[in-house]
């Protein structure tokens, strides 16, 4: 059974959690309990590597950190996943596409 992409338009307003993973490391509980101000935790990612962009824990893209109006931002460098998924969703990009993430203004949400 094929579902027409337009029949799923109602899902576009569903909230999802977008997160960016800077890197990972493995620590013992003893090491975690010893953390404090000035502690250094070395991650498994090099400074020139792209960051993982995830939606609800699933990697969807790779990106890089940028500064935008005094805040951190994210520039999407490539989309990950199956090419057929992107084409079916209307994306059609197989990687290399760039775009800036839109950052919400926290002052605007406080005013509501």
- The CATH number of the domain holding residue 96 is 2.30.330.10
Based on C-alpha coordinates, what's the Rg of the chain?
18
For the segment 29-64, what is each residue's pLDDT rounded down to a tens digit? 999 999 999 999 999 999 999 999 999 999 999 999
Residue 6 is assigned to a structural domain of this protein: no
Residue 102 is assigned to a structural domain of this protein: yes
Q: Where are the alpha helices (DSSP H) in 8-111?
A: 29-33, 83-88, 106-111
User: Range of 43's domain?
Assistant: 16-111
- Scanning the structure block, which residue is given the tokens 């605007």? 108
Residue 1 is assigned to a structural domain of this protein: no
Sheet holding 58-68, edge to edge: 18-21, 51-55, 58-68, 71-79, 99-100
For the segment 57-88, what is each residue's pLDDT rounded down to a tens digit? 999 999 999 998 999 999 999 999 755 444 43
Torsion angle (degrees, nearest 10) of CA 44, 50, 55, 60: -120
Q: Which of 58, 54, 50 is nearest to 75 (CA)?
A: 50
Q: Where are the alpha helices (DSSP H) in the chain?
A: 29-33, 83-88, 106-111
Q: What is the pTM of this model?
A: 0.61
Residue 9 is assigned to a structural domain of this protein: no
Number of helices (H), then strands (E), belonging to the chain: the values are: 3, 5
């Amino acid at each position: 059974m094929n579902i027409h992409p337009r029949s799923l338009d109602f899902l576009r307003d569903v909230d999802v959690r977008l997160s960016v993973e800077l890197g990972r490391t493995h620590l013992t509980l003893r090491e975690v309990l010893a953390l404090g101000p000035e502690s250094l935790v070395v991650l498994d990612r090099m400074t020139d590597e792209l960051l993982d962009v995830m939606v609800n824990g699933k990697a969807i893209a790779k990106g890089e950190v940028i500064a935008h109006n005094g805040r951190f931002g994210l520039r999407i460098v490539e989309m990950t996943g199956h090419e057929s998924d992107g084409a079916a969703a209307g994306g059609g990009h197989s990687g290399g596409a760039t775009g800036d993430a839109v950052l919400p203004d926290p002052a605007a949400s406080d005013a509501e």
